């Protein structure tokens, strides 16, 4: 997802104008669960995270994380996968 932030240079000289920047705090990045290939929000992964060979992986649920930790290489290489 690409968020385009368009900050226009238009200025209003009304001191009562409130400036709202609604997207300022939104930083939702999505990772793919290597076990089931579901999209997982990296801000709050339901299954937690695991680190393998310096890379962080995010999981849709605890079951996927447990499966991954048993054989990380198998899932990363694509040899293994679980259909949910």
Nearer to Zn ion, 50 or 64 (CB): 64
Give Dmax (Cα) for the chain.
62
Write down the least CB distance from residue 39 to Zn ion, Å.
Answer: 10
Q: Which stretch binds Zn ion (CB under 5 A): 5-13, 20-28, 30-38, 67-75?
A: 30-38
Contacts of 76 (CB under 8 A, 6+ apart): 34, 52
Tokens 């300022």 locate to 24
Nearer to Zn ion, 28 or 32 (CB): 32
Q: Is 67 near Zn ion (CB under 5 A)?
A: no
Residues in contact with Zn ion, counted by CB under 5 A, come to a total of 6
- Provide the Cα torsion 24, 25, 26, 29; round to 10°: 120
| Residues within the interface to Zn ion (CB under 5 A) | 33, 35-36, 38, 60, 64
């Amino acid at each position: 997802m690409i968020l385009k932030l368009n900050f226009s240079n238009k200025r209003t000289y009304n001191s009562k104008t409130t400036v709202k920047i609604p997207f300022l705090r939104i930083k939702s990045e999505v990772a793919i669960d290597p076990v089931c290939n579901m999209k997982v929000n990296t801000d709050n992964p339901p299954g937690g995270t695991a680190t393998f060979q310096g890379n962080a992986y995010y999981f849709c649920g605890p079951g996927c994380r447990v499966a991954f930790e048993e054989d990380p290489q198998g899932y990363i290489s694509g040899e293994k996968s679980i259909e949910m």
